Structure 1
Amino acid sequence: MRTQLFAGLVCLLLVCTSPVALGIESGPPAQGSADHDRSIAVQYTLDREPNKTGRVRVTATIERPRHVTGLSVRTPGEATVLQADGLQSDGDRWRVSGDTERARLTYTVPVGLSTTFGQRTADTHNWTLLARQEVSLRARWRWHVGPRPTWNESLALAPGQSGVAGRTAAYIGPHETETRTVDGDRITLVVPADADLRPNRTAALDSISHAKRASTAGTDHDHIRVFVAPNELASGGYTPSNGESDVIVNAGEPVRSPVNVWVHEYRHTRQTFETAPAMDWLSEGSADYHTAALTYSTGGIDADQFHERVTTERHETADLTQPDTWAGPGAQYHKGTRVVAAIDAHLRQATDGTRTFEAVLDRLTRHDDRITLALFAETVSAVAGDGLNAFVRQAVTGTAPSVPVEVLTDRDLRRSGAADTTGRRTNFAPSGDSSATTATTAGDGPRRVVDTTRPVTDRHGEWTVLGTLGLLSLLLVRRQRL
């Protein structure tokens, strides 16, 4: 009788703690629903402020799934909130009210992002060029069951506005676009009317198209948007978020250069690996090396220019894992390029040309953990099929190794491997025609922030409610068996 009583109690506990009884949605999504139904979607609709410059109006529309029980957001710095629907002010945050599934927050924010290399975005009398992190909300949330909801951001233009909205950048104002289809994917060049594009459009698209065909590690996006920055903004280029499909390149940047910024920024769109601080140099070092190699392979630069770039002696004694000790800020560009070139040459020699540094990047993109020097060295050795661990460590932390350039000057600089993960860090490229080539992103605020729009999440109560009661029922059954 007591056994039956406890069995009944167990059943009652299981029923009471089921998701249905608790009013919590669980199980697979209903037929016809998409994965994004379980994400928090926020769309930033952008509108130029009439008769004003320097600020834009943003309407953030937030779609909250039912299983997200609490959600609050914080506006960017210097934002002025104009209207809130479905949100309540709570200090410096705005909380989504009650059971509201769709909330809207309208605010204005300044536009004018600056980096070590100068100003990258602006809102002028005639046009606006901005990066998503300038308008993005910062969010926290709680949810009941299932995997952690994602924070899914997108950009859109207000009705009546002429321009192009990408995933991480947008342009509003008079412009023209030209699109190239490469292997079924698109590359769109967005050229503002106020931009004096020095390479012609065909040359810029040819350069990026070749880089796309020759690159295989990382995300191969189905649509790349290249926003041409008017010449008055900083020279060089800017990628709002690594692994994402939008880049910004100054209109005056040449394509026939060892530091071809059009290719450099494209390479950042494929960088879906995450690095530990000691390996942050890898993003710029690998992008710069492949920029020189890819430009050389198309005849954009000659062998002497390629040789000079990959054997540079600048910052050759810098310990790339210790940026605070660098004699100057350009070590990740200069020594980083030389280190990657040396490793690529050794890989080609060890594998009779069948494997290259692209295979290393391919494997690194498949790792969920951040890349450390140890993981990097192990991966190079695995690709080479030979013990290059000591060589890699010495190359990164000691004096830069010599580069057998003759191994690299084969015009068939093909790549191998493929990978696909999520976007990562903000990156910048200096101009090839100024002293900015010695600069780095180490001093730029967004550089170490990774993605300033990445939300802080707060998982709440799943184990406390279901796990504790379930464990109690198991203990009661076990006690009756004793």
Structure 2
Amino acid sequence: MFERASDNITATQEFRLTPDERGRITVVQRYAVPDRVASLKPQLPRDVTVTGTTGFSRAEGTTYEWDGNTSAPQITFTMRVNETRDLAGPEGARGEYLFVDAGEWALFRQPSLGTSWSWHGAEPVGITRQATTDGPGYAGDWMVYLGEVRTHERSAHGQRFELVVPKRASLAESPAAVLDSMAAASDQLRVGDRDDVIHAFAAPTTSVRWGVRGLQLGDRDMWVRDVETLSTAENTWLHEYVHTRQDYNTDAAAEWTTEAFATYYAAHLAMEQDLTDYDGLREVLRRGTTQSQSDAVLTDPSTWADAANYLKGSLVAADVDRRIRLATDRTRSLQAVFSRLNAHQGPVDERTVFESVGTVADADVRRAAVTYAGTERTPTLWSESDHAEAFGSAPARVEVGLADGPDTFAVGGPFRNESLDGSTPTLFAGETLTVVGTVTNAGEAATEYEAGFAVDGRVVATESGTVQPGERVTHRFERTFERAGERTVAVGGDEVTVEVHEPGRASVTALSANRTELAAPGAVEVAATVSNPNDVPGRTSVRLGGPDGPVIDRRVALGAGENRTVSGVVRLGEGRYEFTIGDADPLTVTVGGTGSESGDGSDGGSQDGGDGQDGGSSGFGPGFGPVATLVGAVAALALLARRRA
């Protein structure tokens, strides 16, 4: 209802090759600016070269300022895109590039460009961002490929996989096989943080020596060298996909889990997909037992040598997974720990990791995790028969997150009661957001669960219970937001941004009374018409004073374009009373001495047999009563609202 894309600023980044300047690409930053925008200030990245502007002038540093008149302003600049790095370990390669402009094609990260803006009026103005290429290419959320491509698509388990295969690439596997593997992993890995879309690029190796075998960036973008195969325990496609499912940040002591989990699960999922066997998995884990790993303490990155976070880390992750399965009679696995880390609010530290292990399993498994991750000790590899005993049956695979569908979010309160559409719920201060969360078990064992509801990184409510195999449990959580601002709500490992705006300015537009002339002291009903002319909800405080106290004292909330009447009764002595408020014309009520009493404010005959000629004076002064003033207090909302992104 309130997500009006036509009223938003549209910011478009267009990318094109710059053949004469290898290593640099050209970016055209365009804006479509609606009428209500008052100011617009893009802040460019450092180390770019501006080659042209339309409707913008440089303000300070890398910030540019809109002239206020041009409806389609733009800035053109060039930027360096080559990035290099040496990386040892299973994901390292013998080249140097992470991103590159190869001349006839380029694979690079999108530039980060901040924009601040302000607008007139009560209705918020947002911004819609998009990216495109000038000529052949593909723009994801974080990565861009310039050059001819073919895109292959697959939808599975609430995700859409887009596999981008450049004409310059020679894919070692068929696109269908790559998509099959990632789709299967989406189902196998029930740890939350399942993004709607995954952008997977096949990186050409014909003319570039890459420094890594694959790279994941942002929430959902990844590239993998075109020569990488699927039938291996060192499955780079699955390794980078696992990274897209990690939605937690760590401190230094828990950093090892990032690559350890990705390396272990790449091998484990490949084995579950029959892309490798126990011997392949064992070879990956065996590297964590070598002499070069013996001095590594995973919780201390300064001790890592020879990619210990990958090698010893994956062995420790596998060992903890095996111990959890045995301790819980194969009803739980390391995925339960993974899920808890994704759902954790704030940076994950070593205590969070170890406590999660203990909660999922028991104190003995926790002690083993502390021993092997927190000291130089290394787990002993287990036999194939021991592996079959622990991994032979599927444990519970529980996923806690936001529900899918149009009723995931609803709003209630003084303005409206309805479901909310869109990926970013929009509320107004004083409204209550209802969030529907689900707990699903795709495994073969029942298990207990805990579903947490967090607001701005703090868990404010939890629900717990037992979920059976194949069962889906639903919970509803509520939160009232009293102040405007951008908030984050999360259920399990899924989170969403909630925009809370101040309501519009409502005001009293008319005053009336059931009678405006009384022959003698008596009661008068005074009514105030409150109007909200905005396209968004509005509110105001209506306070009307009388000689003996308030006549009306109410907080009034109105929907977009709504009018409402509030009233109160006041007893008046002889005299002349003037009521004023907001934009309404003054209302005058005369009691005694000036004419007849009329029920409708007309010059009709007096009631109760009075002749309308009774004289007298008010206790507030002879012949003239007090002036009662009605003051409309509107929730703070400046005409020129401001927002920064």
**TM-score normalised per structure 2:** 0.53
**1:157-207 Cα deviation digits (max 9, x unpaired):** 23xx12221111121212222222324532222111111111232332222
Change (3 A) 1:62 1:334: farther
Larger strand percent: 2
2:399 maps to 417
**For each residue in 1:130-149, what CA deviation from the matched residue of structure 2 results, as whole angstroms up to 9, or x when unmatched?**
222xx2225678999x9xx9
Which position in structure 1 is the counterpart of 2:506? none
The structure 2 residue matched to 1:105, chosen from 70, 75, 95, is 75
Are residues 1:276 and 2:251 paired? yes
After TM superposition, the structure 1 = structure 2 runs for residues 333-372 of structure 1, keeping only pairs within 5 Å, are: 333-372=310-349
2:223 aligned with 1:253: no
Aligned equivalents of 2:55, 2:168: Cα separation in 1: 40
Q: Is 1:78 aligned to 2:54, yes or no?
A: no
- After superposition, residues 231-242 of structure 1 pair within 5 angstroms as 231=205, 232-234=208-210, 236-242=212-218
Q: Calculate percent identity across the aligned residue pairs.
A: 27
Question: Which residue among 250, 253, 263 is the counterpart of 2:238?
Answer: 263
RMSD in angstroms over aligned alpha carbons? 3.6
Task: Say how many residue pairs are matched.
Answer: 386
Paired AA for residue 353 in structure 1:
R
Q: Distance in 1 between matches of 2:353 and 2:10?
A: 35
Deviates more, 1:209-218 or 1:33-42: 33-42
Q: CA deviation digits over 1:39-80, x for unaligned, max 9?
A: 987432112235553221112235799999987554334311
Change in CA separation of 1:50 and 1:114 when aligned onto 2, cut-off 3 Å? closer
Please point out which of 249, 252, 273 is paired with 1:298: 273
Cα offsets for 1:345-376 (capped at 9, x unmatched): 11111111111111111112122210011111
Question: Over residues 274-325 of structure 1, what are the superposed CA-to-partner deviations in whole Å (9 max), with x where a residue is unaligned?
Answer: 1112212211110111001001112211211212222466524311222123
Counterpart CA distance in 1 for 2:330 and 2:126 is: 41
Distance in 2, Cα, partners of 1:279 & 1:68: 45
TM-score of the aligned structures, taking structure 1 as reference length? 0.70
Once residues 16 and 326 of structure 2 are traced to their aligned partners in structure 1, the CA distance between those partners, rounded to angstroms, is: 55
What is the alpha-carbon distance in structure 1 between the residues aligned to residue 309 and residue 258 of structure 2? 8
Among 131, 137, 141, the alignment partner of 1:163 is: 137
1:397 to 1:111, Cα distance in 2 relative to 1, 3 A: same
Query: In the alignment, what sits opposite 1:436?
Result: none
In 2, Cα distance between equivalents of 1:361 and 1:192: 34
Query: The residue matched to 1:364 in structure 2 has which SS?
Result: helix
Gaps of 5+ in 2: 88-95, 401-492, 498-632, 634-645
C-alpha deviation, 1:224, in angstroms: 1.7
Q: Give the C-alpha shift of residue 95 in structure 1.
A: 3.8
What is the CA–CA distance in structure 1 between the aligned matches of 2:177 and 2:209, rounded to whole Å?
21
Q: 1: CA distance between counterparts of 2:35 and 2:294?
A: 55
Q: Which runs of 5+ in 1 are unaligned?
A: 1-31, 424-469, 471-482
Matches of 1:329 and 1:236, distance apart in 2: 15
Specify the alignment match of 1:432 in structure 2: none
Distance 2:36 2:354 in 1: 43
Distance 1:378 1:65 in 2: 51
Instruction: Provide closer, same or farther for how the CA distance between residues 184 and 339 of structure 1 changes in structure 2, counting only shifts above 3 A.
Output: closer
Question: Counterpart of 1:227 in structure 2: which amino acid?
Answer: F
**C-alpha contact (below 8 Å) 1:235/1:250 kept by paired residues:** no
**2:284 maps to which of 299, 309, 316:** 309
SS at structure 2 position matched to 1:81: strand
Q: Which residue identity lines up with residue 373 of structure 2 in the other structure?
A: V
Does structure 2 retain, via aligned residues, the 8 Å contact 1:236–1:261? no
Opposite residue 185 of structure 1, the aligned amino acid is Q
Q: Is the 8 A contact 1:235 1:253 kept in 2?
A: no
Query: How far 1:105 sits from its partner (Å)?
Result: 2.3
Residue from 259, 264, 267 that aligns with 1:289: 264
- Report whether the alignment pairs 1:220 with 2:294: no
Deviation at 1:406, TM superposition (A): 4.5
2:98/2:212 contact within 8 Å kept:
no
Contact kept? 1:168, 1:240, Cα under 8 Å: no
What is aligned with 1:89? 58
Q: In structure 2, what residue type is equivalent to 1:122?
A: V
Residue 57 of structure 1 aligns with which residue? 26
Cα–Cα, structure 1 residues 59 and 383, in superposed 2: closer, same or farther, change >3 Å? same
**Equivalence for 1:205:** 179
1:322 aligns with 2:265: no
Asked whether 1:130 is paired with 2:104, we answer no
8 Å CA contact retained: 2:202, 2:224: yes
Please give the alpha-carbon distance, in whole angstroms, between the structure 2 residues aligned to 1:284 and 1:321: 13
Query: Could you give the per-residue CA deviations for residues 369-421 of structure 1, whole angstroms, max 9, x where no partner exists?
Result: 10011111111111115454433222212132335444554375874324324
Q: Is the 8 A contact 2:185 2:238 kept in 1?
A: yes
Give the structure with the higher percent helix: 1
Structure 1 residues 237 and 416, CA gap change in structure 2 (3 angstroms): farther
Q: Secondary structure at the match of 2:309?
A: helix
Evaluate the alpha carbon distance shift between residue 337 and residue 37 of structure 1 in structure 2; reply closer, same or farther with a 3 A threshold.
farther
Q: Which moved more, 1:276-285 or 1:395-404?
A: 395-404
Shift of 1:116: 2.1
Question: After alignment, is 92-101 or 40-49 more displaced?
Answer: 92-101
